[in-house]
Amino acid sequence: MVADAFSMLLELLSHDKMTAAALAEKLEVSERTIYRYIDVLSAAHVPIVCVKGRNGGIMIGEEFRLNSCYLTADEMQLLIAATESFSSPAEQKEDILLKLRSMRPTGSASGFADEDFAVDFSDTPLGDAFGAKLDVLIKAKKARKAVGICYHNRAGDVSERTIEPYIFVYNNGNWYVFAKCRREMAMRMFKVSRITHMVRTDSDYVIPKDFERSWDLADPTRKRKIGVSLKVSERARYDVEEWLGLENVHRADDDGFTAYGEIYDNDASFAKLLSFGPDVKVLHPTALAEKLRAAHEQAAKL
Q: Are 118 and 197 within one domain?
A: yes
CATH of the domain at 145: 2.30.30
Q: Are 90 and 118 within one domain?
A: no
Q: Are 234 and 200 within one domain?
A: no
- Residue 94: give the domain boundaries: 73-102
In a domain, 211, yes or no: no
pLDDT of residue 214: 87
pLDDT of residue 108: 47
Q: Are 120 and 179 within one domain?
A: yes
pLDDT of residue 41: 80
Q: Are 97 and 147 within one domain?
A: no
pLDDT of residue 4: 75
pTM over 0.85: no
List the chain residues with pLDDT less than 50: 68-71, 106-109
Q: Are 182 and 119 within one domain?
A: yes
Q: Are 44 and 16 within one domain?
A: yes
In a domain, 217, yes or no: no
Q: Are 197 and 121 within one domain?
A: yes
Q: Are 80 and 53 within one domain?
A: no
5: three-class secondary structure by DSSP = helix
In a domain, 38, yes or no: yes
Q: Are 249 and 195 within one domain?
A: no
In a domain, 67, yes or no: no
Among 153, 172, 204, the domain-final residue is 204
In a domain, 66, yes or no: no
Q: Rounded distance, CA 2 to CA 32, Å?
A: 16
| Structural contact between residues 38 and 50, judged by C-beta atoms closer than 8 angstroms | yes
pLDDT of residue 113: 66
127: three-class secondary structure by DSSP = helix
Among 141, 175, 204, the domain-final residue is 204
In a domain, 115, yes or no: yes
Residue 16 has φ and ψ, to the nearest 5°, of -70, -40
Beta strand 57-60 with 145-152 is unpaired
Q: Which helix (H) or strand (E) holds 97?
A: helix 90-102
Number of structural domains the chain divides into: 4
Q: Are 176 and 231 within one domain?
A: no
Percentage helix, strand, coil for the chain under 3-state DSSP, each rounded to 5: 40, 30, 30
| Structural contact between residues 103 and 76, judged by C-beta atoms closer than 8 angstroms | yes
pLDDT of residue 112: 65
CATH of the domain at 20: 1.10.10.10
Q: Which helix (H) or strand (E) holds 48?
A: strand 48-51
In a domain, 251, yes or no: yes
Q: Are 234 and 285 within one domain?
A: yes
In a domain, 65, yes or no: no
